[in-house]
A and B are shown apart, each in its own frame.
Chain A
Amino acid sequence: MAEPQSKPDPDPEPKTEATVTGQDLFGYVGIESVLDQMKRKAVKTGFEFNIMVVGQSGLGKSTLVNTLFKSKVSRKSCNPSFEEGISKTVNLQSISHVIEEKGVKMKLTVIDTPGFGDQINNLNCWEPIMKYINEQYEKYLKEEININRKRKIPDTRVHCCVYFVPPTGHCLRPLDLEFMKRLGKVVSVVPVIAKSDTLTLDERQRFKERIRQDLWTNGIKVYPQKEYDEDAEDRILNDKIREKIPFAVVGTDKEHQVNGKNVLGRKTNWGVIEVENVAHCEFANLRDLLIRSHLQDLKDVTHNIHYETYRVRRLNESNLNGIGLSASPLASMNGTAVRKESESNL
């Protein structure tokens, strides 16, 4: 490249006149078709969702997940020969399936935690779970800071953690409080009252109030968190939800005849508990929250808030220690920036 004789204007900075005016369009342009384009693209790439269920054994976690996704997604159903015994340790097992509905493909991963809270001494039983969650964040972070990274980073981060509270009818146990406090900081926790067909409506109401009270006293934030409401609409919607949590659910995968219709329900000697009947239990509310209205929001909260918190923490750590993150351009860059500043002030 020869040196220019007449040097062009050395100031390449564009004069960004930020005159953002709301222009009225004189005719149809077609901008709104971008929505369709986005939808098509989203449908083509498919969705991923990772849900974790935590609770003592026998609370109906696997059944509930099966009921939620109307198919046999849980661990139990996948390994029919699996002997259900009390395991000595907290094992995390994740099973993935691809389910499709009306052209929308979703890769659903259910992470089960058998052994949680089952031992005599349950100290630190949340640690394997925390470790797993952080490992997923770490994996994502490593991929993100790679130089040659994949177009679509595989997302194995836990988007939602459903915590099963046993229907004692009194209040939250220390184990529940401890777990939710710790996990509420790294993942979106949705508490549910399991096997709630043992509670009458009054007992259920009192129990719920008691639980909400306990959560508030201990400063435990469960999904949907108040701070992350973006606008008034969201707040109204989420307030309605917050009044109802924790949802009292009943799970089943058997169908029975009620009034001539086939409904999902549990049949007992004194009646049939219809799972999808809002008068009976709040399964439908949970399903709507998790799937129909807030699934994308759960993913967004995980990505924008929990993951970013983890990332900040991790990068600060690796700055101080100088270990850990391989090829950490960020660490060096941020470290050098800080050091350079301090040097120039000498």
Chain B
Amino acid sequence: MSVAVGSKPSQSEDLRNLTLSGHVGFDSLPDQLVNKSTTQGFCFNILCVGETGIGKSTLMDTLFNTKFEGDPASHNEPGVRLKAQSYELQESNVRLKLTTVDTVGFGDQINKEDSYKPIVEYIDAQFEAYLQEELKIKRSLFNYHDSRIHACLYFIAPTGHSLKSLDLVTMKKLDSKVNIIPIIAKADTIAKNELHKFKSKIMSELVSNGVQIYQFPTDEETVAEINATMSVHLPFAVVGSTEEVKIGNKMAKARQYPWGVVQVENENHCDFVKLREMLIRVNMEDLREQTHSRHYELYRRCKLEEMGFKDTDPDCKPFSLQETYEAKRNEFLGELQKKEEEMRQMFVMRVKEKETELKEAEKELHEKFDRLKKTHQDEKKKLEDKKKEIEDEVGAFSKKKAAVQLLQAQQASSQSTKKDKDKKKFLPFLKHPKTWRPLLTL
């Protein structure tokens, strides 16, 4: 039985639109999709770039209606470093993992040429981490904690004139990597009419320098209108405050001055409400999507091309790619072989060296052994000589001793013969009985 596959699907290019004759029920699909994400939670990462003391932390607190922990930074940092802090916020049933990244020490150095570098490196590092995860063989993308920066709030100092060159340079470096939203910080220092001039100056400078800031999406009907009206007010002039002041009969976030009260949430006073709308309530999802589909894809493309992988058009033959791959592979294998050879050489050399060393050591040892042996023999000989001497002496001594003993014995015997003689003289007198009798008859 021939198991041929008619697997080229007869897919009609122009898909027919069918009408349903009843309620099927897949209109619950968006809800299903959203439910899944709700259980997982959302990630949102904001990067705040601005000089020390410009109000980054305060603005974050005001935006998210909470007091984030952290001490104000000093002005003595030797370089720019990024400090990231993560928080879990919960509102009704939505969990948000918010990460705020602060640039500590930005604009404080005397030489600010490299101030943007740590920022760019950080953003790239997050992309790299995601890319590595994506390219792994065994990967788990669906519960990966996304640390890529979704929005960058660039704090412009309220000089009232124009952008600083540091701002321009930094924004130019960042615009292809992250969604930049420029905001004018501490906007309560600028008067209304100056503000308008300042804003247009900034926007024209951005345009003339080719800085691409984040464009609020206007393709969807529901949000197009609001986004279009808001875009006119860019950059947003914000005032941040976490202190509450009594206004009228309710408490509102505001800054109290002797000459009046600047209300944070009053649209006539500052654009904070607009920023909050745009950032959170309307475009959060779009910011995340842009980060993933534009900035991350660009990074990925550049990185992969850097590594030498080329792509061809989809309808091109795969052979050229095969060739590139094969060529790369061979090149790599050749390198590997070379390295292997090198290592082997090194290994052999080392072994030789060690061998000669050991041989020398052996020789030394032999010599030492011989020397020692010789000394030992000398000693032994000496000792034997001594021994012999002593034995001779002992022999001589014993002879002498014997001679002395003999002499003594002779002397002793000569004395005892004298005694005997005396005894002999006397004894017979004792033994004769006549001599006795007179004694006994008494």
Interface residues of A (CB under 8 A from B): 1-2, 4-12, 14-35, 37-44, 47, 49, 68-73, 88-104, 106-107, 109, 111, 119, 121, 123-125, 127-128, 131-132, 135, 146-149, 151, 230-231, 287-288, 291-297, 300, 304, 308, 311-312, 315-316, 322-323, 326-330, 332-334, 336, 339, 343, 346
Total number of A-B contacts with CB less than 8 angstroms? 329
Which 4 A-B pairs give the minimum distances between C-beta atoms? A8-B79, A9-B79, A94-B9, A326-B321
Beyond A15-B83, A147-B310, is A29–B78 a contact (Cβ under 8 Å)?
Answer: no
Question: Contact at A346–B77, with CB atoms within 8 Å?
Answer: no
Contact A98–B16 (Cβ < 8 Å): yes
- A41 (CB) vs chain B CBs: closest residue: B285
Write the chain A residue with the least CB distance to B61. Answer: A26
Q: Determine the distance from Cα of A26 to Cα of B244 in the docked complex, in whole angstroms.
A: 12
Which of A37, A94, A125 has the most chain B CB atoms closer than 10 A to its own CB?
A37
Q: Across the interface, which residues of A come within 8 angstroms of B137, CB to CB?
A: 311-312, 315-316, 330, 334
> 28 interchain pairs (CB within 8 A)?
A1-B113, A6-B110, A8-B114, A9-B79, A14-B82, A15-B83, A21-B88, A32-B92, A35-B34, A39-B30, A72-B18, A92-B5, A92-B7, A94-B11, A96-B15, A97-B18, A98-B16, A99-B18, A100-B20, A128-B4, A128-B5, A291-B24, A291-B26, A295-B29, A327-B321, A329-B309, A330-B136, A339-B336
Assembled-state Cα–Cα distance A94/B440 (Å): 175
Query: B122 near A12 (CB under 8 angstroms)?
Result: yes
Residue contact A42 to B30, C-beta cutoff 8 Å: yes
- Using Cβ atoms and an 8 Å threshold, which residues of chain A touch B24? 68-70, 99, 101, 287, 291
Does B297 have its Cβ within 8 Å of any Cβ on chain A?
Answer: yes
Please determine whether B94 and A31 come into contact, CB atoms closer than 8 angstroms. yes
Chain B CB within 10 A, most for which of A69, A315, A329, A333: A329
* Chain B binding surface SS class: mixed
Q: Which of chain A's residues have a CB closer than 8 A to the CB of B117?
A: 8, 12
B52 within 8 A of A: no
Q: Which of B9, B113, B297 has the most CB of A within 10 A?
A: B9
In the bound complex, residues from chain A placing their C-beta under 8 Å from that of B94 are 31-32, 34-35
| Complex alpha-carbon distance, A125 and B284, angstroms | 50
| Stretch binding the partner chain, chosen from B37-45, B358-366, B402-410 | B37-45
**B26 and A292 form a contact (CB under 8 A):** yes
Closest Cβ–Cβ distance, residue B403 to chain A (whole Å): 88
CB <8 Å contact, A25 and B89: yes
> Are A8 and B115 within 8 A (Cβ)?
yes
Is there contact, CB below 8 Å, between B83 and A30?
A: no
Contact A37 B114 (CB under 8 A): no
Q: Are A131 and B15 neighbours in the complex by a CB distance under 8 Å?
A: no
**Nearest CB to that of B302 among chain A residues?**
A147
Chain A residues near B77 (CB-CB < 8 A): 9
Q: How far is the CB of A345 from chain B (nearest CB, A)?
A: 11
Give chain B nearest CB distance to A66 CB in angstroms: 10
- The answer to whether A40 touches B222 (Cβ under 8 A) is yes
- Cβ–Cβ < 8 Å partners of B328 in chain A: 332
Please judge, given known A-B contacts A4-B114, A21-B87, A132-B5, whether A106 and B21 are in contact too, CB under 8 Å: no
Q: State how many angstroms separate the Cβ of A122 from the closest Cβ of chain B.
A: 8
**Interchain CB contact under 8 A, B280 and A29:** yes
A133 vs chain B, min Cβ distance (A): 10
Q: Would you call B282 an interface residue if the criterion is a C-beta within 8 Å of the partner chain's C-beta atoms?
A: yes
Given the known interface contacts A89-B4, A123-B1, A327-B325, the answer about A343 and B339 at a Cβ–Cβ threshold of 8 Å is yes
CB <8 Å contact, A29 and B64: yes
Residues on A with beta carbons closer than 8 Å to the beta carbon of B121:
12
Query: Closest approach, in angstroms, between the C-beta of A73 and any C-beta of chain B?
Result: 7
- Cβ contact within 8 Å between B84 and A300: no
Chain B residues near A132 (CB, 8 Å)? 5, 7
Chain B residues, Cβ within 8 Å of A12: 81-82, 117-118, 121-122, 125
Cα of A311 to Cα of B136 in the assembled complex, Å: 10
Report yes or no: A326 in contact with B318, Cβ–Cβ below 8 A: yes
If A9-B80, A304-B142, A332-B332 touch, whether A31 touches B280 (CB-CB below 8 Å) is yes
Of all chain A residues, the one with the shortest Cβ separation from B289 is: A41
Residues of chain B lying within 8 A (CB to CB) of residue A327: 309-311, 321, 324-325
Q: How far is the CA of A326 from the CA of B314 in the complex (A)?
A: 11
Contact with A along B228-242 (1 / 0, CB 8 A): 000000000000000
Max chain B C-beta neighbours (<10 A), residue from A14, A17, A18, A26: A14
Contacts of A24 in B (CB 8 A): 66
Contacts of A300 in B (CB 8 A): 36, 142
Contact with A along B317-331 (1 / 0, CB 8 A): 010011011101100
Task: Return the CB mask of B32-71 against A: 1 if under 8 Å, else 0.
Answer: 1111111100100000000000000000000111111100
- The answer to whether A38 touches B285, judged by C-beta atoms less than 8 angstroms apart, is yes
* Contact indicator A29/B91 (Cβ below 8 Å): yes
Q: How far is the CB of A319 from chain B (nearest CB, A)?
A: 8
CB–CB A343/B340 < 8 A: yes
Cα–Cα, bound, A123→B139 (Å)? 36
Q: Within residues 235 to 284 of chain B, which ones have a CB less than 8 A from any CB in chain A?
A: 276-277, 280-284
Task: Tell me the complex Cα distance, A33–B226, Å.
Answer: 15
> A31 CA to B37 CA in the complex, in Å?
14
* Most chain A CB inside 10 Å of its own CB: which residue of B33, B138, B340: B33
With A and B bound together, what is the CA distance between A17 and B142 in angstroms?
A: 24
With both chains docked as a complex, state the minimum distance between the C-beta of B186 and any C-beta of chain A, in angstroms.
22
- List the B side residues contacting A329 at CB < 8 Å: 135, 304, 307, 309
**Could you tell me if A104 and B30 are in contact, using CB atoms closer than 8 angstroms?**
yes
Contacts of B7 in A (CB 8 A): 92, 128, 131-132, 135
Of B4, B84, B136, B286, which is within 8 A of A17 by CB?
Answer: B84
Take A31-B91, A101-B20, A147-B311 as given contacts and tell me if A326 and B79 are in contact as well, using a CB distance cutoff of 8 Å.
no
> Which of B63, B122, B322 is A326 in contact with, Cβ under 8 Å?
B322
Q: A26-B66, A33-B280 are in contact. Are A17 and B85 (CB under 8 A)?
A: yes
